């Protein structure tokens, strides 16, 4: 699922291409994508894009007449851009069906086409059309924005929130660190991938309880969150350059632990371990983060019972 760094870079790329541009035509190919009935999708056609905003992990496109397109890409949704100077002229003509089952929608501007695809068959990606930004804000889960200025005003990076505010939110409920960082009611935009990277940077266990952290651990976590998110925004910006970001993935070259099960930790050389649950997984270094202890994988430990290794060395 695209998270804070990915969404920031998506919005920056869209700002360069569609702000001030007229949306000539909106085409939907999947009946499951659009989650609102009014106003109709046709209401955005002929309107000029005024601004873009980030709302958690959502991308919000604001048009004339206070109309908003709000996208949530979920796990497998991705955006694509194709320069097409003749789009405006062709938009008035009958356009053929989108060629692939992965294509859910296309938005034709006078300078190109923005398309939305989704891999797989589950169709979790969503699009809402709202009249009035307050209705769009109703989708906000309430998590604090980690970078100033205030929520919704700037998709990019500003000053990171102060330690006291960060700690206040983190300790408002007594959860594991992994759950707390990925809870959209607490923090805006952090998901499975970057929470793994943050906890590795802070050298903290993903199952450590938030209300049990020492002052030193809280400070390390605060600094690690800022460093991880800032560095990955900068990396993704550099990777994309002037191109539209096409290679958006949760498993990126250069990540320390996420998606690197059984590979070596770049800091200590131990083998990265994981906890699997449902469709997600937590990746961590047992030497850097858990004092050499292996965290029980629910699936495997249930099968192996007493044979489940207790330390990274036992795991072999």
42 Cβ neighbours under 8 A, 6+ residues apart: 26
Mean pLDDT by groups of 10 residues along the chain of 316 residues: 93 96 94 93 97 95 97 94 68 50 90 93 90 91 84 64 97 95 96 96 97 98 97 94 89 93 96 85 96 76 42 40
Q: Which of 166, 165, 284, 151 is nearest to 222 (CA)?
A: 166
ω into 39 cis (within 30 of 0) = yes
> Is 256 within 8 Å of 227 (Cβ atoms)?
no
Rounded to the nearest angstrom, the gap between the alpha carbon of residue 221 and the centroid of all alpha carbons in its chain is 20
Q: What's the token pair of residue 228?
A: 């991880």
Determine whether 152 is exposed, middle or buried from the number of CB atoms within 10 Å of its CB (0-12, 13-18, 19+): middle
What are the structural domains, with CATH classification, of the chain? 4-137 (3.20.190.10), 163-315 (1.10.8.50)
Per-residue pLDDT tens digits for 67-111: 999 999 998 899 999 998 554 445 544 444 455 668 999 999 999
Q: Which of 189, 203, 219, 246 is nearest to 53 (CA)?
A: 189
């Amino acid at each position: 699922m695209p998270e804070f760094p990915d969404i920031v870079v998506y919005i920056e790329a869209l700002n360069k291409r569609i702000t001030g541009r007229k949306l000539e035509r909106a085409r939907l190919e999947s009946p499951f994508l659009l989650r609102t009935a009014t106003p109709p999708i046709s209401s955005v056609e002929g309107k000029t894009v005024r601004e873009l905003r980030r709302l958690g992990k959502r991308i919000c496109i604001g048009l004339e007449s206070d109309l908003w397109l709000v996208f949530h890409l979920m796990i497998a949704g991705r955006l694509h851009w194709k320069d097409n100077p003749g789009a405006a002229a062709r938009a008035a003509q009958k356009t053929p069906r989108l060629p692939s089952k992965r294509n859910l929608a296309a938005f034709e501007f006078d300078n190109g086409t923005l398309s939305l695809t989704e891999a797989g068959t589950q169709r979790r990606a969503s699009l809402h059309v709202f009249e009035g930004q307050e209705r769009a804000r109703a989708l906000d889960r309430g998590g604090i924005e980690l970078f100033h200025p205030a929520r919704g005003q700037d998709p990019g990076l500003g000053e990171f929130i102060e330690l006291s505010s960060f700690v206040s939110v983190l300790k408002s409920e007594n959860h594991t660190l992994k759950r707390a960082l990925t809870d959209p009611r607490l923090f805006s935009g952090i998901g499975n991938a970057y929470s793994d990277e943050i906890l590795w940077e802070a050298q903290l266990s993903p199952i450590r309880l938030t209300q049990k952290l020492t002052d030193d651990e809280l400070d390390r976590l605060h600094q690690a969150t800022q460093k991880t998110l800032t560095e990955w925004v900068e990396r993704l910006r550099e990777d994309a350059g002037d191109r539209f970001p096409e290679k958006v993935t949760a498993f990126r070259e250069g990540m320390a632990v996420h998606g690197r099960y059984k590979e070596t930790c770049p800091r200590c050389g131990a083998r990265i371990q994981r906890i699997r649950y449902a469709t997600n997984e937590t990746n961590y270094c047992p030497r850097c983060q858990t004092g050499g202890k292996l965290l029980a994988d629910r699936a495997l430990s249930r099968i192996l019972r007493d044979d489940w290794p207790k330390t990274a060395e036992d795991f072999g």
